[in-house]
Structure formats: C-alpha cells, structure tokens
Amino acid sequence: MIRALTFSQLGMSHICCSYEISWGFERVVQNGILRLMDAGEIEEIREEDRRMAELLEDLMDEFEVKFSEMNVPLQQFMESYWLPRMQKVKEERGEMSA
C-alpha cells in the first residue's frame, strides 16, 4: 500500500501496460483497450523515471524503517509521517525544477 501510494505521488508511469479508463476495468479488458507497451515506449519511460525510481527506493527504505519504529496502525503512519514527508519531497522537487 505504501509503495503504491508513493509511486503515484511521485508521478511515475507504469510500464507494463496502459489502458483508458472509460466504463470500468472489466469492460476495458473485455473491449481490448488494455494494451501492452512496446519496448521503445518502456525504455523511454524508464529513462524519464530513472531518478524517480531511485527516489522511490530511497523513500521505501526510509518508510519501512520508520513504520517499524513507530509501531502504529497504517492509517496513523500515513497521516502522521508519510503525508508530511511526501509533501516535503514534492516541495524539494519543485525547488530543484525551479
């Protein structure tokens, strides 16, 4: 759960496949809108997300240690540590972009 939310907050792209959200996941799969990406698309996304992938792994190491140290329910960890930390990461990324 923590990894998926962190991945999403970093704005990273999935590279296994892509799909259009239209009428729900079942219809997407049935209608063939779900498609595998070709190798060129995957490599382009990997190159663009390389730094984000490194940041994701660093954050996951940090979150794993902190979650264990805090020894609190997931919701409490997300509200008291993860959310403020992700806000700080976004601010730092904004400053670097500027």
Q: Which domain holds residue 77?
A: 2-97
Dist. CA 31–CA 21, nearest whole Å? 12
pTM: 0.68
Q: What is the pLDDT along the chain (98 residues), one digit of tens a residue?
A: 999 899 889 888 766 655 555 555 555 455 555 566 677 777 777 777 788 889 999 999 999 999 999 999 999 999 999 999 999 999 988 776 55
Dist. CA 23–CA 63, nearest whole Å? 35
Number of helices and strands (H, E) in the chain? Answer: 5, 2
Domain count, the chain: 1
Residue with tokens 């020894």: 71
